[in-house]
Amino acid sequence: MAERKVLSKYFPPDFDPSKLERRRKPLANAGPKVQTVRLMAPFSMKCTSCGEYIYKGRKFNARKETTDEKYLQITIFRFYIRCTRCSAEITFKTDPKRMDYECERGARRNFEVWREAKLNEETEEEMLDRIEREENERDAMKELERKTVDAKMEMAVADALDEVRLRNAQRERVGKEGEVAGVQREERDLEREREEMEMEEAARRAFQSGTGEKVKRLEEDLLLTEQDCGGKDEVAVPPPTFVRQVKKKKDFSAALGIKKKSLV
Neighbour-count burial of 90, counting CB atoms closer than 10 A to its CB (0-12 exposed, 13-18 middle, 19+ buried)? buried
Residue 43 backbone phi and psi in degrees, to 5? -155, 160
Closest listed residue to residue 32, CA positions, set 97, 96, 95, 79:
79
Sheet holding 53-54, edge to edge: 53-54, 45-47, 107-109
pLDDT at 172: 81
Predicted pLDDT of residue 195: 87
Beta strand 107-109 with 45-47 is antiparallel
103 in a labelled binding site: no
Beta bridge partners of 74: 71
* 8 Å CB contact between 3 and 32: no
CA dihedral sign of residues 83, 52, 39, 59:
negative
Per-residue confidence in pLDDT tens, the chain, 264 aa = 556 667 777 889 998 988 888 777 665 555 667 889 999 999 999 999 999 999 999 999 999 999 989 988 899 999 999 999 999 999 999 999 888 899 999 999 998 877 776 666 666 777 888 888 888 877 777 788 888 888 888 898 888 888 888 888 888 877 776 666 777 778 888 888 888 888 888 877 776 655 556 655 555 555 555 555 554 555 556 666 667 777 777 776 666 666 666 554
Own/partner pairs, 63-68, CB within 8 angstroms, 24+ separation:
63/34, 63/35, 63/36, 63/37, 64/34, 64/35, 64/36, 64/37, 65/32, 65/33, 65/34, 66/32, 66/33, 67/32, 67/93, 68/32
229 is in an annotated binding site: no
pLDDT of residue 209: 57
> Is 87 strand, coil or helix?
coil
**Sign of the torsion formed by the C-alpha atoms of 144, 145, 150 and 151:** positive
Instruction: Tell me whether residue 83 is annotated as binding.
Output: yes
Domain boundaries, the chain: 34-111, 142-200
Task: Specify the pTM.
Answer: 0.39
